[in-house]
Amino acid sequence: MIIEEKKIGFRYYLNKRLNPVVIAEDNRYQVYVQVTFDRKNTQLPCPFPFSLGGLTEHRFKELFEERIDKEVKEEIEEFEAMIENILRFEFKNLKSNFVLKGLSKRLSSYYDPLGMTLRDSVSSRMKLFFKESEITKSKFRFSQIEAMLSAMDGDFASTYMMLKDIMPDIRDQLPEDLEISITAYLHFLTSRISGRVFDWLDEKIRKRFQEYLFNVPEEEEIFKYEAPGSIFVSVWREFPIRSQYRLSYVAAIDQMILS
């Protein structure tokens, strides 16, 4: 059965509900865009540098209706392609939980470095796992747990080793989904793929990571410039790629982006 792809549309307008900026007696208004997806719509301010100070009605007509400036036209088309990729990505992964409302707030997160987003996700989930663990609760008072959690604000590898000092068998205690996410994060870093979150929506980037998962270089090659005794290397060794989870690692990155 062929599933019809959801339609998406864009309508640009000057938001005259906001007070204009007056320059040389010309009223300049903030440019907004109404995004329509699956017969629902939301509004957000346009992020284009050329329109941040507002536009006159005449200039708006030239740039957004007549599209007389080639560079601006390309900028608008790139923005629309990015929004479309984001919405189709969210709709595909969230399914019935997808909500169009709030896109304006979510949009900024797609400009964050992907590695940072993955790090923050696994770090917060590790802290939650530690906080809710029955082993932790049996060993420490609540105030001690909170104090330890507040000290875990460094990089993920340092946080993991700190937890391992407290729970030596932590690797065996991890839930499977968290283990998969940690493995995906660590190997994303050593895949040498960089970019922002919205770059991950590009199938070429995803394919590069999948190729890495099937052809992980030798450890000596990956860490030839790493300092001896590196904490990161020690943690990385605890999370090798498992062949039966290769596709799960890609899906885990999707979920970390959306979490």
Written as one string, the DSSP assignment of 15-73 is -TTSPPEEETTEEEB-EEEEEEETTEEEEEE---GGGTT-B-HHHHIIIIIS---HHHH
Q: How many CB atoms lie within 10 A of CB 51?
A: 24
Q: What does the pLDDT read at residue 70?
A: 94
Helix (H) or strand (E) holding 12: strand 8-14
Q: What does the pLDDT read at residue 145?
A: 78
Q: What does the pLDDT read at residue 134?
A: 83
Q: What does the pLDDT read at residue 71?
A: 93
In a structure prediction context, what are the per-residue pLDDT tens digits for the chain, which is 259 residues long? 344 578 999 999 999 999 999 988 899 999 999 999 988 999 999 988 888 789 999 999 999 999 999 999 999 999 999 999 999 999 999 989 999 999 999 999 999 999 999 999 998 898 888 888 887 888 888 787 777 777 766 688 988 888 888 888 889 999 999 999 999 999 999 999 999 999 999 889 999 999 999 999 999 999 998 888 899 999 999 999 999 999 999 999 999 999 8
- Collapsing DSSP to helix, strand or coil, 100 comes out as coil
Q: How many CB atoms lie within 10 A of CB 86?
A: 20
User: What is the domain partition of the chain in residue ranges?
Assistant: 8-111, 114-258
Torsion angle in degrees (nearest 10) through CA of 106, 111, 115, 118 = 0
Q: What does the pLDDT read at residue 188?
A: 97
Cα separation, 168 vs 48, whole angstroms: 51
Contact 18, 28 (CB under 8 A): no
